[in-house]
Every structure is written in structure tokens, then in C-alpha cells.
Amino acid sequence: MRQSRADGFDEFVAARWSALFHLARLLTGGDRHRAEDLLQDGLLKLWSAWPKVAGQAPEAYVRQVLVRAAARSARRRWWGERPTEELPETAGCQDLAAVVEERTRLEAALALLSARQRAAVVLRYYQDLPERQVAEVMGCPVGTARSLTSRGVAKLRQALTEVSEPVG
């Protein structure tokens, strides 16, 4: 039984781990630790449903699990102490530092969005899903997905503009 259930699962996880982890990280607002937990839970649910979804669309299934779990966890989020990956000094290659800094800015701006707006923006623009699929994954009408995406992008633009404007 174990072998039949595992057929293809390990290969799927090995092939898609990086992309799924990045999706989870964006859905959690850049929190690496929450993203790891989210992805682990999502893959556990995928493992349970693997015999049913293996021949269909396992990535779409796990994507939907991740979006829904991220929305649930955002509602019961603890606002206490949070670990950070930022170091006080930046050393090494400046090009890499600039890439990391830009990604950090984007993740911080994504964290300002509501869980549903964040999910809509990430699915539409990072996962490059059409509006119809975004709506399916989120379990809402296409118009709602469009509205969430539009408002999320507007809020991202505002947050990124405010951060980049010089003070004084």
C-alpha cells in the first residue's frame, strides 16, 4: 500500500518544492518559518489525497490548500515576537544584496495586505494564473478575485512608493 501511494509523490515534491515554498513564503508575507509550516501542512494533505489527485492536477490541489490554510492562519495570527532573517550588516556582493533588499521590500509590502488580497495578487502575478483560476483556487466569483487583485496591487504600489520616498 505504501509503495502505491508514494508512486510519483516523491518526484512531484522534489520537482516542485522550490516553487511551492516560494508561493508559501509570499502567502505568509515573507515569514520563512510560517511558510515552511504552511508548505509542510499542505504537502501532508496532498499526501493523503495523492491517489485521487496524482493523475489530475496535484499542483493546483496543493496551491488551493496553501491559499486556504494561509487565509485561516492569518485570521488567528499572533502579533507577539517574530523571528527575522535580516542581519544588521550587509556584507558580500552588492548585486546580491540589492536583490535581497528588493525582495525583502516586496515581502514586507505583501505582509501589509489582507490574506485574501495577498493570495489574489500572488496567484495572479507570481503564479501567473488567469483570473478564472484565481477565483477557483480562492473559492470566490471572478469579479471578487479581480477586485481583490486590483485593491491589493493598489495597496502594494502605495506601500512601495511610501517606503522609497526620501524623508525630510
Nearest CA to 126 among 55, 37, 30, 36?
30
Show Cβ contacts of residue 133 under 8 Å, excluding neighbours closer than 6 positions.
60, 123
Domain 2-76+93-164, CATH 1.10.1470.10 — does that match? no
For the stretch 80-100, pLDDT in tens is 555 566 655 555 555 778 888
Asked if residue 143 has pLDDT above 60, the reply is yes
What would the pLDDT profile of 46-90 be if each residue is shown by its tens digit?
A: 999 999 998 888 999 999 999 988 888 766 655 555 556 665 555
pTM attached to this predicted model: 0.61
Q: Is the pLDDT of residue 1 over 50?
A: no
What span, in angstroms and rounded, lies between the C-alpha atoms of 16 and 161? 33
- Residue boundaries of the structural domains of the chain: 2-76+93-164
